[in-house]
Amino acid sequence: MTMPAIKTKKNISKKAVITEKASELFKQKGYNATSMRHLAEAVGVEAASLYNHIDSKASILHEICFRVADAFNENLDEVEKSSQNALTKIERILRFHIRMMIDRYDEIYVANHDWKHLEEPGLTEFLNHRRNYEKRMAAIIEAGVKKNELRSIEPHVAVLVLLSAVRGIEFWQRNKRNISAAELEENMILHLTGGLKKQ
């Protein structure tokens, strides 16, 4: 008799290590420049052994990208459900993005940079996720402008500015200066919502 429960548990845990190391390497070198042999070395096994835990190199990227997408979608669901005003909603979304960029940097970086190498149908699905997310954010801003809560600004441009500004935390990650994560967050919120508020 085998012991399926324990075997499963072991596999999951090793798979988690592989995904984590892959996130690190993909972030450092990029998806294509990271070979399964590099990854195997980082994990501490031979390349062939990785395939006992994962299906393919592509499947690792798929898992990283969609885990990230799911986290952002869940947060947006919650924000949408609330009855706060538009500026508060946007601020909540921004704070979530900023914290994800700080706490789960490797995964986020990979999802932002290497989604292009997803295989179909994952690629299309991922892009649909993203387009949908941007539309929902734009709708929040549009409602705020209509209610005269926000400065009159083109909602899609505002979304583009907000989402990419937050990605700029990559600069901060590269050389974490004297600024703390909290200080970074407050200054970003100040700058970005300052451009949305009515003067």
Backbone angles phi, psi at 32, to 5 degrees: -65, -35
How far apart are the C-alpha atoms of 180 and 168, rounded to whole Å? Answer: 15
Q: Which does 100 bind (CB under 5 to 8 A by kind): DNA, a copy of itself, none?
A: none
In contact, 31 and 110? CB cutoff 8 Å: yes
Binder of a copy of itself out of 92, 113, 125, 139 (CB under 8 A): 113
The yes or no reply on residue 170 touching a copy of itself (CB under 8 A) is: yes
Query: Is the peptide bond between 4 and the residue preceding it cis, with omega within 30 degrees of 0?
Result: no
Listed ranges 9-17, 38-46, 50-58, 166-174: which one lies at the site for a copy of itself (CB under 8 A): 166-174
Do residues 57 and 114 touch, judged by C-beta distance below 8 A?
Answer: no
Q: Give the residue from 151, 40, 174, 178 showing the smallest Cα distance to 101.
A: 174
In the complex, least distance from residue 115 CB atom to DNA, rounded to whole angstroms? 17
Q: Which does 168 bind (CB under 5 to 8 A by kind): DNA, a copy of itself, none?
A: a copy of itself
CA dist., res. 72 & res. 133, Å (int): 8
Q: Which is nearer to a copy of itself, 116 or 146 (CB)?
A: 116
Distance in Å, CB of 189 to a copy of itself, minimum: 10
Contact between 8 and DNA by CB under 7 A: the answer reads no
Binding mask 14-33 for DNA (x = CB under 7 A): x-------------------
Site string for DNA, 33-52 (x = CB under 7 A): -xxxxx------xxxxx-xx
Closest CA to 109 of 55, 50, 178, 166: 166
How far, in Å, are 17, 40, 84, 119 from residue 24 at the CA level?
A: 11, 13, 37, 20
Residues that bind DNA (CB under 7 A): 14, 34-38, 45-49, 51-53, 56-58
